[in-house]
């Protein structure tokens, strides 16, 4: 029996990196809907098998060109923002950019309990950014169902209007290309 090669370790690491960013056990989840360059970016938040109580919500990190005047949320939600503010937790997949705004949507209505996936409405963030989108962190907080369990937090990435960082994006791309090359050599 052969030992584990370095190629296998690199390949496994790369696959786990991409799988972890795609995997989702999230309950309160903002999902990208649309982008109008220089105007807005919209998300649909959904709740799955959880409770949403007053004070729960989500943060989308590092919004380039943030405009409060054109940022909207469904009834019962409030919007707050700030550079380096982390109302529902710190970003998991990358650093928080001090030059860009984090936008927080906080629920203030009566408790909502969802079994299957339930749309909470459209959340629109105003932006002056007219360039391409990149991927950045979001985090959320809700209350898992059944009652009596701890507050749940979720994290993942979504599309945001911000200047690509280049560093971590290029590192992940390089790791993916290296892994694909090693996999190709292993299979041939």
Q: Reduced to 3 DSSP states, what percent helix, strand and coil does the chain have, rounded to the nearest 5? A: 20, 45, 35
Q: What is the pTM of this model?
A: 0.70
SS3 98: coil
DSSP string over 5-24: PHHHHHHHHHHHHHHHHH--
Write out pLDDT tens, residues 74-113: 999 999 999 998 898 888 888 899 999 999 999 999 999 8
Domains of the chain, CATH where assigned? 25-164 (2.60.40)
pLDDT at 45: 94
Average pLDDT, the chain: 78
66, burial (CB in 10 Å: exposed 0-12, middle 13-18, buried 19+): buried
pLDDT at 177: 61
pLDDT at 118: 92
pLDDT at 126: 96
Structure tokens belonging to residue 11: 């390949």
Return d(Cα 122, Cα 173) in angstroms, integer: 32
pLDDT at 12: 42
pLDDT at 124: 97
pLDDT at 145: 72
Low-confidence ranges of the chain (pLDDT < 50): 1, 4, 6-26, 163-170
pLDDT at 17: 40
């Amino acid at each position: 029996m052969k030992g584990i090669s370095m190629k296998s370790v690199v390949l496994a690491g790369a696959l786990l990196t991409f799988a972890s960013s795609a995997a989702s056990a999230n309950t309160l989840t903002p999902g990208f809907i649309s982008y109008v360059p220089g105007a807005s970016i919209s998300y649909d938040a959904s709740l799955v098998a959880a409770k949403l109580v007053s004070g729960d919500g989500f943060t989308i990190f590092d919004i380039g060109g943030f405009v409060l005047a054109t940022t909207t949320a469904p009834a019962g939600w409030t919007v707050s923002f700030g550079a380096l503010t982390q109302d529902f937790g710190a970003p998991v997949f990358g650093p928080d950019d001090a030059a860009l705004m984090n936008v927080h949507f906080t629920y203030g209505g009566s408790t909502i309990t969802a079994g299957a996936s339930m749309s909470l409405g459209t959340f629109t963030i105003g932006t002056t950014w007219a360039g391409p989108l990149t991927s950045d962190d979001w985090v959320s907080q809700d209350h898992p169902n059944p009652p009596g369990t701890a507050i749940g937090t979720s994290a993942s990435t979504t599309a945001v209007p911000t200047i690509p960082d280049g560093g971590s994006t290029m590192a992940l791309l390089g790791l993916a290309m290296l892994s694909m090359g090693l996999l190709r050599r292993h299979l041939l």
